[in-house]
């Protein structure tokens, strides 16, 4: 799960990581008052969306006039921000963060993530902050310093000094960086974050370090342990279909193709998508309806798939292990009728009572094709999607 910058900065404060003074608002008319309360001589208005790259597309605006924060906020609130990291529709801006600005001497990069290969938390640091770190890693890998943390010994002082030297920090800044790095490790471990990114981490004209931006990802599987983090959830920043799927216990991810896939079991769903690709088609989604599926879930799954207007044909691939194939077939028929599916649906069933299931699905008068093997089913759905496109 992602959270907003202002929420991440609240967590940073709890863990002793310095951030600019600021306050979020959803009402532009409050902006000037907030700016005055913050004090200082210049302010920044930042669109709060679950994506980076805001600076390049007008989602971060500076002003020396506190009254102007109102018009800047007004221009952002209620719009959708499209950045390099969003899709073409962008994300809705429902809140802006008003912050006091600080003269920037240097912009650095610092993140903490999980390196699955070495099974360690790893710090990534670079003096080339404020930029796209993937580009830095690609073009000038020598500008990136990484430090792996041994889970037994934890973060060591020498590791912080190594990072501090590589960032060109001096004197008191070493201690300040160590405190920030320790805060990041504490936050990651205690709140089950999977990634914490500060880009940029700035050095102010007074030589102080401060997190000017903040991005945190959390491990969805640990959220049940952290009601405080769960409270940060903002469904407006997430895919509508994925939100609905969650309510019905369906595992759904939107993709860009035109073949809707409905499968029980994540592994089978992956294999099905691979096969569709192999046969020259493009899946419109990943959808795992779960092991013990029922008519209601199959109906909801059809509704989800059909709400994507790119979908030209559907492939249902269900293995009847816990649920019998004839029960599934009845569910599919009920769902197709209830949801008024008109595009072609190819169904491949396998498992207990498969014969009874196939009989139910044949000669229905519906746009329904019962396939007996998976490779054939995939070929058929690719051909049908091509015809109806
Ligand atoms: P992102 O583009 O979504 O990653 O948003 P950031 O919060 O990283 O802001 C983008 C850029 O705007 C930063 O790299 C800074 O150069 C600039 N910026 C953001 N906040 C301030 C600020 O308080 N003062 C100044 N001078 N520049 C800022
Ligand atoms: Mn940034």
Co-location of 64 and 117 in the same domain: no
Domain of residue 90, CATH code: 3.30.1490.20
Q: Which two tokens stand for residue 103?
A: 């003269």
pLDDT at site 32: 97
Cα separation, 3 vs 191, in Å, equals 13
Give the distance (Å) from ligand 2 centre to CA of residue 85.
12
Do 8 and 140 fall within a single domain?
A: yes
Residue nearest to atom 16 of ligand 1 (CA): 130
Between β-strands 285-288 and 104-115, what pairing exists: parallel, antiparallel or unpaired? unpaired
Q: What is the pLDDT of residue 232?
A: 97
3-class SS at 47?
A: strand
CA 283–ligand 2 middle distance (angstroms): 33
CA of 52 to the centre of ligand 2 (A): 6
pLDDT in tens, 264-297: 889 999 999 999 999 999 999 999 988 777 778 8
In testing the pocket of ligand 1, which one of 24, 85, 200, 216 has its CB within 8 Å of the most ligand atoms?
200
Distance 213 CA to ligand 1 centre (A): 7
CB 25 within 8 A of CB 34: yes
Q: How far is the CA of 142 from the centre of ligand 2 (A)?
A: 21
- What is the predicted pLDDT for the residue at 111? 98
Q: CB burial class (10 A; 0-12, 13-18, 19+) of residue 135? A: exposed
CA 174/CA 277 separation, integer angstroms: 52
Out of 24, 213, 237, mutate this one to test ligand 1's pocket (max ligand atoms within 8 Å of CB): namely 213
Last residue of a domain, one of 54, 70, 101: 101
Do 229 and 267 fall within a single domain? no
Residue 363 DSSP SS3: coil
- 243 and 338 together in one domain: yes
Measuring from each residue's beta carbon to the nearest atom of ligand 1, which residues come in under 6 Å?
20, 44, 52-55, 60, 62, 99, 101, 104, 107, 130, 199-200, 212-213
Ligand 2 centroid–CA 231 distance in Å is 23
Same domain for 372 and 336: yes
- Cβ neighbors of 69 (< 8 A, separation 6 or more) are 31, 32, 34, 35, 43, 45, 63, 98
| pLDDT for res 295 | 76
Active site residues per annotation: 109, 197
Residues with CB under 5 A from ligand 2 (ion): 199, 213
Residue closest by Cα to atom 8 of ligand 1: 213
Are residues 73 and 137 part of one domain? no
pLDDT in tens, the chain (389 residues): 999 999 999 999 999 999 999 999 999 999 999 999 999 999 999 999 999 999 999 999 999 999 999 999 999 999 999 999 998 899 999 999 999 999 999 999 999 999 999 999 999 999 998 878 888 888 988 899 999 999 999 999 999 999 999 999 999 999 999 999 999 999 999 999 999 999 999 999 999 999 999 999 999 999 999 999 999 999 999 988 888 898 888 999 989 999 999 998 899 999 999 999 999 999 999 999 887 777 788 888 888 998 888 999 999 999 888 778 888 888 888 888 888 888 999 999 999 999 999 999 988 888 999 898 899 999 999 999 998 77
Q: Whose CA is nearest to atom 22 of ligand 1?
A: 101
* Ligand 1: nearest atom to the Cα of 44: 23
Whether residue 135 sits in one domain with residue 3? yes
Element (H, E) at 334: helix 325-339
DSSP string spanning 189-221?
A: HHHTEEEEEEEEEEEETTS-EEESS-EEEE-GG
**90 lies in the same domain as 109:** no
**72-to-2, 69, 89, 139, 165 alpha-carbon distances in Å:** 25, 5, 21, 35, 39
Q: Which among 105, 103, 102 has a CA at the least distance from the CA of 169? A: 105
* Number of other residues whose CB lies within 10 A of the CB of residue 134: 8
In DSSP terms, 198 is beta-bridged to 110
d(CA 8, CA 188): 12
- Confidence at residue 365, expressed as pLDDT on a 0 to 100 scale: 87
Residue nearest to atom 11 of ligand 1 (CA): 55
CATH number at residue 227: 3.30.470.20
Query: Is 6:95 a contact under the CB 8 Å cutoff?
Result: yes
143: its two tokens: 């500008």
Nearest ligand to the CA of 21 is 1
Which residue's alpha carbon is at the smallest distance from atom 9 of ligand 1? 55
Give the pLDDT of residue 236. 95
Instruction: Output the CA torsion sign for 297, 226, 218, 221.
Output: negative
Q: Which of 41, 55, 197, 209 best tests ligand 1's pocket when mutated (most atoms within 8 Å of CB)?
A: 55
Residue 137 dihedral angles phi and psi, to the nearest 5°: -60, -35
Q: Quick one: 270 and 211 in the same domain?
A: no
> Best of 60, 100, 104 to mutate for ligand 1, by most ligand atoms within 8 A of CB?
60
Please give the distance, rounded to the nearest whole angstrom, from the Cα atom of residue 212 to the centre of ligand 2: 8
How many domains are contained in the chain? 3
Same-domain pairing of 33 and 70: yes
Span 80-128, pLDDT tens digits: 999 999 988 999 999 999 999 999 999 999 999 999 999 999 999 999 9
Same domain, 207 and 258: no
Give the residue whose CA is nearest to atom 6 of ligand 1: 213
What CATH number is attached to the domain comprising 288?
Answer: 3.40.50.261
pTM reported for the whole predicted model: 0.83
Last residue of a domain, one of 236, 254, 284: 236
Residue 75 sits in which domain range?
21-101
Last residue of a domain, one of 101, 127, 153: 101
Whether 268 and 347 share a structural domain: yes
Q: Whose alpha carbon is nearest atom 25 of ligand 1?
A: 101
How far does Cα 82 stand from its chain's mean position?
15
């Amino acid at each position: 799960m992602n959270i907003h910058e202002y929420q991440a900065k609240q967590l940073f404060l709890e863990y002793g990581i310095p951030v600019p003074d600021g306050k979020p608002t959803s009402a532009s008319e409050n902006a000037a008052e907030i700016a005055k309360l913050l004090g200082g001589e210049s302010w920044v208005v930042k669109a709060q969306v679950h994506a980076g790259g805001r600076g390049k597309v007008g989602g971060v605006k500076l002003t020396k006039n506190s009254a102007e924060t109102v018009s800047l906020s007004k221009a952002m609130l209620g719009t959708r921000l499209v950045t390099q990291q969003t899709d073409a529709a962008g994300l809705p801006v429902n809140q802006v963060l008003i912050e006091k600005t600080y003269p920037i001497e240097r912009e650095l990069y610092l993140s903490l993530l999980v390196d699955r290969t070495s099974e360690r938390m790893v710090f990534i640091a670079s003096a080339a902050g404020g930029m796209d770190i993937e580009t830095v890693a690609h073009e000038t890998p020598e500008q990136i310093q990484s430090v792996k943390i041994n889970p037994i010994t934890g973060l060591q002082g020498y590791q912080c000094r190594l990072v501090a030297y590589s960032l060109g920090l001096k004197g008191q800044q070493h201690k300040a960086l160590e405190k920030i790095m320790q805060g990041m490790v504490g936050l990651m471990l205690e709140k089950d974050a999977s990634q914490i990114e500060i880009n940029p981490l700035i050095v102010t004209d007074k030589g102080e370090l401060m997190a000017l931006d903040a991005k945190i990802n959390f491990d969805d599987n640990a959220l049940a342990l952290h009601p405080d983090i769960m409270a940060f959830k903002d469904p407006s920043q997430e895919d509508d279909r994925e939100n609905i799927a969650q309510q019905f216990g369906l595992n759904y991810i939107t993709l860009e193709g035109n073949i809707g896939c409905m499968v029980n079991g994540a592994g089978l769903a992956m294999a099905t998508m691979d096969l569709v690709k192999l046969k020259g088609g493009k899946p419109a989604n990943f959808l795992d309806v779960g092991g013990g599926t029922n008519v209601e879930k199959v109906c909801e799954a059809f509704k989800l798939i059909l709400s994507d207007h790119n979908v030209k044909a559907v492939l249902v691939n269900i293995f009847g292990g816990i649920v019998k194939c004839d029960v599934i077939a009845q569910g599919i028929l009920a769902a197709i009728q209830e949801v008024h599916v008109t595009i072609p649906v190819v169904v491949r069933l396998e498992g207990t009572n498969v014969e009874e299931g196939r009989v139910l699905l044949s000669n229905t008068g519906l746009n329904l094709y019962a396939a007996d093997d998976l490779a054939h089913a995939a070929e058929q759905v690719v051909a049908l999607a091509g015809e109806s496109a």
